[in-house]
Copies of this chain bind each other. A is one copy, B any other.
Amino acid sequence: MLRLAPLTFKRSMITAQAVVYQNHGPPKDVLFTQKFTIDDDNLSADQIVVKTIASPVNPSDINQIQGVYPSKPEKTLQFGTKEPAAPCGNEGLFEVLKVGSNVKNFQPGDWVIPAQVNFGTWRTHALATEDDFIKLKKGLTVNQGATISVNPPTAYLMLTHYVKLTPAKDWYVQNGGTSAVGRYASQIGKLLGFNSISVVRDQHESTSTIGELEELGATKVITEKQNLDREVSAQLKQQVKDTQGQVKLALNCVGGASSQGIARKLDRDGLMLTYGGMSMKPVTIPTSLFIFKNITTAGFWVTELLKNDPELKVKVLDQIQDWYVDGKLKDYPSKVLNVGQDKLEDLHKTYLEGTEGSGGKYLVEYK
């Protein structure tokens, strides 16, 4: 008598890895790789399965792991840990593998990014829903797509969302001119027609950096020493006057004396936005600027602003993608860390390289 084996479906469960932590601490002490599975044959109607193309290591990712960042992913059991664990990473580029029956706006092959922060982008795959993603346009590079959510919107929104600068006349001033946001601001400022003063560290004096930033779009590049020099400030004042514009906006990511220097360059009623504090020194503003020049200083945090305004996020990302596709905006280059099949078991070790590396931005790319 012939015995038939029971009929089974061959199920193609995806084996995935994610970098997670259970307790806050230095990344090397708390990160580990957690293996989990995704059942991509039984998607509910609105579900989407994606695989990761690349995800960067941003300073805020590290601060989240350390427990010193106010925005945090929730700990969860969904990765199969015994105790709740939180996934790492906020920015990343994914490719759609499979979509549920009711998903209208995505199809396999689309490039997508998370709609919100705290998604956990240091992982190989994800099972999520349509609402969790924003689709990117065709024509971006991997680096452009994987780093589009934080730095370019920060630069664009600081230049457009608070103060109305008149093209070909008005100015903004920024410190941290060589930073990623600084370089995006120089380019976007120029695309929008704004004049700008970009302050760079003294070490860049008489290097090619100054010419490079001017080529990107900065009207004038000065060193921190010049930022604090009265004579240089007087010359700049004249240059601003010649354009019949005003310095209406200052972008500060340094603090300390540098923030004072750029605040002094503001004209009456100007606004300074602080979005970083690289010197680790507090923002310092002379009393007289507040009282007699009516300067206002505020903070800028792209996470908080866009969390509360998803439409704005879509609008900003559209503009940045158009500039990328048209070749008008250059992305800040990353140092690439490649992950092949052999590195998946210890995925966290590749990201650790990124957290410990210096002098650049690291991007983990999946091959």
Option from B286, B287, B301 in Cβ contact (under 8 Å) with A276: B287
Q: Report B-chain residues with C-beta under 8 Å of the C-beta of A255.
A: 287
Give min CB distance, A298 to chain B, whole Å: 4
Q: Which of A211-219, A242-250, A277-285, A346-354 contacts B (4 or more CB under 8 A)?
A: A277-285
Q: With A and B bound together, what is the CA distance between A291 and B252 in angstroms?
A: 11
Q: Would you call B296 and A298 a contact (CB within 8 A)?
A: yes
Determine the residue in chain B with the shortest Cβ distance to A297: B297
Q: How far is the CA of A261 from the CA of B147 in the complex (A)?
A: 37
Given A294-B304, A304-B294: A289 and B299 interface contact (C-beta under 8 Å): yes
A297 near B294 with CB under 8 A, answer no
Chain B nearest CB from A149 CB (Å) reads: 17
Cα distance A283–B274 in the bound complex, in angstroms: 15
Q: Which residue of B lies closest to A69 (CB)?
A: B292
* Chain B residues within an 8 Å CB radius of A277: 286-288, 291
- Tell me the bound Cα distance from A314 to B285 in angstroms: 33
CA distance A294 to B255 in the complex (A): 16
Once A284-B284, A285-B283 are accepted as A-B contacts, the answer to whether A291 and B299 lie under 8 Å apart by CB is yes
Instruction: Assess A299 versus B290: contact at CB under 8 Å? Given A282-B285, A284-B283.
Output: yes
Partner of A287 from the list B274, B288, B290, B294 (CB cut-off 8 Å) is B274
- The reply on A70 being an interface residue by CB < 8 A is yes
Q: Which positions 264-322 of chain A face chain B at CB distance < 8 Å?
A: 274-277, 282-301, 304
Q: Does A260 contact B (CB under 8 A)?
A: yes
Whether A286 contacts B282 by the Cβ 8 Å rule is yes
Q: Please tell me if the beta carbons of A299 and B294 are within 8 angstroms of each other in the complex.
A: yes
In the complex formed, the residue of B with least CB distance to A273 is B290
* Interface pair B291/A275, CB less than 8 Å apart: yes
* Chain B, Cβ-Cβ closest to A257: B282
Q: Is the CB of B301 within 8 A of A294?
A: yes
Q: Smallest distance from the beta carbon of A337 to chain B beta carbons, Å?
A: 28
Q: How far is the CA of A102 from the CA of B298 in the complex (A)?
A: 51
Most chain B beta carbons < 10 A, residue from A260, A283, A287, A293: A287
A259's nearest neighbour on chain B, judged by CB, is B287
Contacts of A260 in B (CB 8 A): 282
Known pairs A277-B291, A297-B297; list 4 more (Cβ under 8 Å): A255-B287, A260-B282, A291-B301, A295-B299
- 9 A-B residue pairs with CB within 8 Å: A275-B291, A282-B287, A283-B284, A283-B285, A290-B297, A290-B300, A291-B299, A294-B304, A296-B298
